[in-house]
Structure 1
Amino acid sequence: MARLEYLELPVGDREAAKHFYAKAFGWRFTDFGPDYAATMSGDTDVGLDAAPEKVKAPLPVIRVEDLEATLAAVTAAGGTIAVPIFAFPGGRRFHFRDVDGHELAAMQPD
C-alpha cells in the first residue's frame, strides 16, 4: 500500500536548517553527503536538501512497492514525469507532476 513516507525541503543552509528543527522540535538528523540530511524516525521523515540542483518547493515522497508499476499508473492517470527513475542511497525514485502541476515523488526502498 502506498503511503506518504517523506517530505523533502529545499534549504539554503543545511546546518542552519538542522539547528532550527532540532531546537524547535527536538528532531535529530543523519547527514548524507555534504548537502543532505534527514530524520530517521521510521515514521514520516523530513529531508533537508541544500544541493545546487535541489527541488524548488517542498516535495512529498510516496513509498510504493513497485516503482515501475507506479510510474505506469501515474502516467495512465494523467500525470507527467518530471524526473525519470534514479537511484539514491536507500532506494530508487522518480518525480512526477499531478494534474494540477504539483510535483511529488514516488520511491521504492532497497
Structure 2
Amino acid sequence: MTPDELRALCLEFNDATEEFPFGPDTSVFKVAGKLFALSALDSEPLRVNLKCDPDEAVRLREEHPAITPGHHMNKRHWNTVTVGGLPAPMVRELVEDSYDLVVAGLPKAVRLRLDRP
C-alpha cells in the first residue's frame, strides 16, 4: 500500500477529513472532529497509528511483528502499524475498525448521520 492509497483509504469513510495540526508532514484523519488515524505519509517505512480495542490490540501485537504499541499515543488503545508488513486487506480492516471505534463513541445523532448506528 502506497502513501496515496493509505490517504485515499482513510478519506473514503463518511465525514472523514485530513488535517495537519502537528505540521505539514503529519496527516491526522478525523471523523466528526475525532482522531482515528495518524501518519507521516512520507515516512519510510510507512506507518499509521490506529485506534484499537485494548484486548484486540494485545492479540494483534503478539501475532504480527508489524503491529506495535502506538508511538506517542495511549498504548492501551492505539497501535502503530507498519503498512508494508501486513497484507493490504488487513490494513484496510484495521483502519475501518479504528474508524468504527471512534464513531461508536460519538453521540447517537452523529452516528445515525454517518450511517453507523
TM-score interval, smaller chain? 0.3 to 0.5
Greater Rg by CA: 1
Work out which structure has the larger RCO, using CA pairs closer than 8 Å and 6 or more positions apart in sequence.
1
